[in-house]
Amino acid sequence: MTRPPWEGIARLAGRRALFAVPVVLVVTFGVFAIAAASPFDPVRAYAGTAALGADQETLDRLRENLGVDRPFAVRWWEWLTSALGGDLGHSSVMRQPVAQVIGERLVWSSLLCAVAFAVAVLVGTSLGVLAARRPGSWLDRTVTSLAYSLEAAPVFWVALLAVWFFALQLDALPAGGLTDTASREVTAGQVARHLVLPAGVLAVSQLPWFTLYVRQGVGDALAEDPVRGARARGLSERTVLLGHALRSGLLPVLTLIGSRVPELITGALLVETVFSWPGIAAATVEAATAVDFPLLAALTTLATAAVLTGNLLADLLYGLFDPRVSLSDM
């Protein structure tokens, strides 16, 4: 008896959720351990310039109030138990609850990543199909060379180049921020205009991988017997390319979606920093330099969850679209 697909999806999601529990525990414990060994002093970061004239007794009292005088394992356990109850703690560097810091910034980081990823998948797939259609042609060589060049280019270098060209030379797009400086309101038009450069740069950093994978997958599919048989039956080139070769060639791309999530997050942090995008990048940097344990642990957990979710999504897509793979075997 054939089981419905939702049962396999539920089983796979349940197994991955159980696997995620020890991963999150190890990651958060490691964050507290590394932060405790950091040369940065959270007390001086919290006090700022006032710490320069403070005596040791005042600093020790502040250290006790912040709770950073206790062993890191104790602080980790207290944060973990509070987080399980819905309290992520209070950020010392942002002077806000951690949940509020993440809530205010996550929406802008999610918007940036979603737009960039969608553009990278659509444009990369199109370029890969065009390159695979005629292997060895000038178009294939151009697309492949460009993809390899962009693959080797650091994302911050591409970001700075984009700012220099589009913002400084052409004065066509804003160099950074979320809205215009003179504006007090956040409007959709201003956000869209300010989103073009950071989302475009982040998409360019992911574009080569999808282009090369699709080119290889579609090129291999065009040489297979089923596709040759479709051509022999007199089907149009468009039907053969999009209906047969592309469907088979896209299967490796499904696994690529999950594996690119860590690179997407890393690239987003760099892009947000260059373009002053009000996402979680600035909060991550400040949390690391100020050794803000609760905020740093929450942001790391969020990134870990995003990576695990991306891997789960890739496996689900592969199991649903490839009849040779069973979700129950994953």
Radius of gyration of the chain (CA): 24
* All structural domains of the chain: 5-97 (no CATH), 102-289 (1.10.3720.10)
Whether 113 shows a pLDDT value over 80: the answer reads: yes
DSSP letter string, 105-136: HHHHHHHHHHHHHHHHHHHHHHHHHHHHHSTT
More confident residue, 297 or 42: 297
Whether 60 shows a pLDDT value over 50: the answer reads: yes
Q: Considering Cα of 120, then 121, then 126, then 129, what sign does the dihedral take?
A: positive
What's phi and psi for 322, nearest 5 deg?
Answer: -105, 110
* Bridge partners, residue 90, by sequence: 97
Whether 328 shows a pLDDT value over 60: the answer reads: no
Collect all residues with Cβ–Cβ distance below 8 Å to 22 and sequence separation of at least 6.
none
Whether 36 shows a pLDDT value over 80: the answer reads: no
Report pLDDT digits (tens) over 216-274: 887 777 777 676 776 677 666 677 776 667 777 677 777 777 777 778 888 888 898 88
CA distances from 236 to 17, 193, 233, 259, 263 (A): 46, 41, 9, 35, 39
| CB-CB contact of 321 with 314 (8 Å) | no
| Cα–Cα distance measured from residue 316 to residue 119, given in angstroms and rounded to the nearest whole number | 22
Whether 150 shows a pLDDT value over 50: the answer reads: yes
What is the average pLDDT value for the chain, to the nearest integer? 80
Q: Which of 32-36, 219-223, 318-322 has the highest mean pLDDT?
A: 32-36
In percent, the amount of the chain with pLDDT more than 90 equals 12
pLDDT at 1: 46
| Cα–Cα distance measured from residue 320 to residue 322, given in angstroms and rounded to the nearest whole number | 6
Using DSSP, state whether 182 is helix, strand or coil: coil
More confident residue, 2 or 54: 54
